[in-house]
Chain A
Amino acid sequence: MTQVNPFIPILLNETLGDYRLTESITSDGAFGLIFKAIDTVANREVAIKVLQPATSSPEDAFEFRREGQLLRELAKARGVVDIYASSETTITVHGPGNIPFPLPIKYHVLELAQGTLQDIAEHCDNISWAEKLQLWRGAVLGVHQMHLSSIAHRDLKTGNCLLFSRPKRQTDCKVADLGRSRNWKEPAAFMPEIYLRGRGDLRFAPPEFLLGQGREGAEAHRLADLYGLGSLLFELGVGVGLTQFVLNLDPSGVREIIQNANRGIEIEPSSLLTTYQEAFDFFSESLPVCIKTDAVRLLNRICNPCPSNRLPVSGTGKRGVRGSGLEWLIRRADIMVKKANQNASVRPKVAAVQGV
């Protein structure tokens, strides 16, 4: 059903600078192709993200370049995927009649992940909540570090969070795919309608952006990312996209949204409160009792369709929620991880006793 991108066979086994592409990791992408590669100098495996040659638009090229720039700014952030290098090269490709022609290639060299959080979401029933929450905490940490550097992600979904195996059977989750990201201290390159023009996955987009009502400014970006983190948690619980679960959008719905946005007509997101609560009730079915209340309450807060209600008003500790970081959310994640771990450690004992 899915067509293989024609550039994948062309690029496979090619050498870009010091890197020999050995395996295609994704069959398709919005504007990038990902390959596993061997760094022939350092003799290690890396991931190469290649900007789709020839077919990418100037906007894609801009976003690709900016992704590299933002990843370099976030080099010290351990919750964000590491970039080793960005480069350009030209390879020779043979066209019809075996005529050779040059093909310019732009690429980033990234640390190689062992999977994505989407793999977990797609098999959410096989993984314990303690593990899922630990991974989610990694994503929260990544976004927190991005926010401290005034960078908003704007396209959070499990497919954009990478998993890395660490010693002692530990797995880290890092935020990746910063193509839609931007530094909010710099002028905007695109308007909020970016979401309506096919630049994000509508299944996970914050409702205010989806409805063409996104605002400029640091606060709006932070609150949108907060929704994205809640949406990640929802995905980890039930596997599907929160926004699409609530809005059930089809092309006619999207047409209406675009028409309204064109006319400058705005819909109040508070109108969606009840349907969001239904989604949270659905989500709660996936949770163990020990974290049910905490997780649903948290989701109610950070995925509130009204962006201004996404920050907690109390109970956030001495430092509160002021500033641009998400320490308070990391603490919440820690508490839930602890509760889920305690629950996990109790359960086998009970099972053993029953077995005896």
Chain B
Amino acid sequence: MSVFGTIIDRSMNCLPDSGWTSPPMPGAGEDAGNIFRRTDVTPSVNSSESVDDALQTWENQALCVADQASGRASASPESVSALLRWAQAEVIAGREDMATAAASKALDLLLEREGQGFLAVAAIRILETSSSPEYAESYLRKFPQTDEIKLERARLATERGQYGEVLDLLTVSQLPRAHYYRGFAHIQLGNNAAAIREFRSARNSGVETAEVLGAMAYGYWRLGSQRKALSAALQASRLSPGRRDLSLMLMEFLFLAGKHSVLRNEISAVKARKVQETADFILIQARLAFAEGHTSRGHKLLRRVVTVAEAERDELLASEARGNCDILDWLAGKLSADQLTRRLRRLCETFPQSITLNILLADASQSLTIAPYLRENFISIQESGLAGVAELAPLAARIAYLECDFAGAQVAAVEWAKLHPMDPDAASAAIMMTGEILDDWSTAAALAVYAIKRLPLTPTLANNAAYAMAFGGRLREAEELLHEKWQDQYIIQATRGLLKLVDGDFDAGTALYRRAAELADRSKDGVESRALMACHQVMTFNRLGMMESVEKERLRALSLPSTPLPDDWERKPSFQLIRFMAEKHGWGWPLAVD
């Protein structure tokens, strides 16, 4: 049984995501990094002419234009437009001081006049580039606080990540774009339903841009409305097919929704446009390959992600992909468990604020000893403000579990599932922790039914859901979950055995446990898995009252032989959890048939 999924699942589910973890920023289309680049284009600049030569020619012309604009501004010293045109020309020419002086002068003139405040927006945009957003903001505060000025201040606050201020500034504004900024602020603060309301208002007011739709998709996804999220993401991507972030968001949603064939088509369509394959685009292809069981192809793609990310100077993504490659190497027997943990630790030390690397390390080590290090990283990420509560939720649940704070882990797992309603790992953890820790199997079963209706069925989700449903009085539904294609996984076999035991078929149940034990022996961590399974079997006997109802001799003969606990069991949260349960229910520790 697994709470957080096996490390095999990790190789496909814990790859870094493809950049959808935040909604598209307002104005993100300006950022060339968010744009797909086509590669089927003939160079339009004479290749014999160096970039520096071209730039020099261009700069001379830009300076000439700026001088002309300066002359015109001097001739009309009271003309705000002449000053702004001059400032624009100076920005292009790279004379930031001159641009700042011209834009500031225009703002000073505007402050003396009435009815032209809206022109301040043009000056502010110039100052943002030529000086600093803070300087621009200080000017905006001097103007009468009209809706337009407040909206511009809200835009600057959004760029600074001060979402509370955005909401304060736009409390009563009914400008179409105000709805959008308010929605964006709400979504960043985790108020998804309020965000959706604002985005709807923005659309009704005519602001139907790809970014609004993308942010809406993000909000719907966070609310668990898969269909609406996919529909909005699809519209956003079609409205602005060049936006890489929106296209990747759609692909990510399709992947997480288990719509693999649609995702394949989407990937093909993007490739057909001859776009430059970026690391995150290759990453989604790798994840799809793993999800469809094409491990070798996935591994190749993952290695390409490392290479391309390095070429893009995205060292973080390269390291996260490298961490996953290490896991695949461990699975292939090329690395020992110790080597794997050491490598992941090294990567984590380079990028301590990578949530993905911390999760990989947590899952690979499965040891109490790593918990303080992870906690330290967690606090550092939290304090840096680099990630919100939602992004940190999967790590929070894992760390609480590794610290053997099982009550805390249960709360964190439920929170994780709430914040990531479309994440099968989150649902798996919430189901199992609610059942085990709270001993509330009916709630756990209800969570399981909810999850399996909405989420793609991973082996871990199927296993945990079946486990909870069996104890929650939904045995027949549980039986249907454990798919034939996972029969080679010992955890699934053990849970099938459990279902038989719950059904009262002691012989068939114990036979399946024995079959699972054989499979476990062949697994990488065979000794530990077998010991864990033996403990689970006895825990099940206790939970079903079989220790009393079944004859001791029969129990002893058909159950798994007792296996000694591994030497380091005290450092293993999986064993500590069983001890916690055993002590709570008075089953004795270590658990044994005798």
Contact = CB atoms under 8 A, between A and B. Distances in A.
B22 to A, nearest CB: 16
B242 A196 contact: no
Interface in B113-167: 115-116, 118-119, 121-122, 125-126, 128-130, 148
A271 B64 CA distance: 31
A277 B81 CA distance: 21
A60 to B, nearest CB: 12
A255 to B, nearest CB: 6
A219 interface: no
Contacts of B415: none
Interface in A268-296: 268-275, 277-278, 281-282, 285-286
A212 to B, nearest CB: 5
Interface string A245-274: 111111100111011111111111111111
Given A201-B65, A238-B122, A286-B118, 9 more contacts: A212-B44, A212-B45, A248-B91, A251-B93, A258-B58, A261-B45, A268-B36, A274-B26, A281-B177
B118 A123 contact: no
A251 B94 contact: yes
A242 to B, nearest CB: 10
Contact of A123 (B68, B70, B76, B94): B76
A345 B380 CA distance: 66
A264 B61 contact: no
Nearest to B93: A251
Contact of A238 (B74, B81, B82, B211): B81
Given A268-B38, A278-B27, A1 B51 contact: no
Interface in A1-59: 1-3, 27-30
Q: How many B residues are at the interface, by size bracket?
A: 35 or more
B41 A266 contact: yes
Contacts of A30: 61, 64
A198 interface: yes
Contact of A275 (B29, B79, B89, B177): B29
B42 interface: yes
Contacts of A247: 30
A214 B41 CA distance: 11
Of B76, B84, B211, most A-chain CB atoms within 10 Å: B84
Contacts of B26: 274
A273 B64 CA distance: 30
B43 A262 contact: yes
Q: Give 4 nearest A-B pairs by CB, closest first.
A: A268-B242, A239-B81, A198-B61, A285-B118
B256 interface: no
A248 B125 contact: yes
A203 interface: yes
A217 B240 CA distance: 25
A281 B179 CA distance: 14
A199 interface: yes
B61 A265 contact: no
Contacts of A244: 88, 91-92
Nearest to A283: B118
Contacts of B27: 274-275, 278
Contact of A264 (B36, B41, B60, B240): B41
A192 interface: yes
Interface in B446-474: none
Main secondary structure of the interface of B (DSSP, over half): helix
A124 B80 CA distance: 9
A123 B241 contact: no
Interface in A99-147: 118, 121-125
B269 interface: no
B242 A270 contact: yes
B64 A28 contact: yes
B177 A241 contact: no
Contacts of B55: 251, 254-255, 258
Interface string A311-350: 0000000000000000000000000000000000000000
22 contacts: A1-B70, A2-B68, A27-B71, A122-B81, A122-B85, A125-B81, A125-B116, A201-B65, A214-B44, A239-B82, A239-B85, A248-B129, A251-B55, A254-B92, A263-B43, A266-B41, A267-B37, A268-B35, A268-B243, A270-B210, A274-B210, A274-B211
B44 A191 contact: yes
Given A244-B91, A266-B38, A197 B58 contact: yes
Interface in B342-375: none
Contacts of A285: 118, 121, 148
Contacts of B70: 1-2
Contact of A250 (B80, B92, B210, B239): B92
Interface string B18-32: 000000001111101
A224 to B, nearest CB: 14
A172 interface: no
B44 A273 contact: no
A271 B26 CA distance: 12
B351 to A, nearest CB: 26
A220 interface: no
B515 interface: no
B594 to A, nearest CB: 70
Contacts of A251: 55, 59, 62, 92-94
Contacts of B207: 277
Given A196-B45, A266-B41, A3 B51 contact: no
A86 interface: no
Contacts of B231: none
B136 to A, nearest CB: 12
B6 interface: no
Contacts of B81: 121-125, 238-240
A262 B47 contact: yes
Contacts of A255: 51, 55
Contact of B243 (A125, A259, A263, A271): A271
A266 B44 CA distance: 10
Of B36, B54, B62, B93, most A-chain CB atoms within 10 Å: B54
A244 B30 CA distance: 12
A107 B542 CA distance: 105
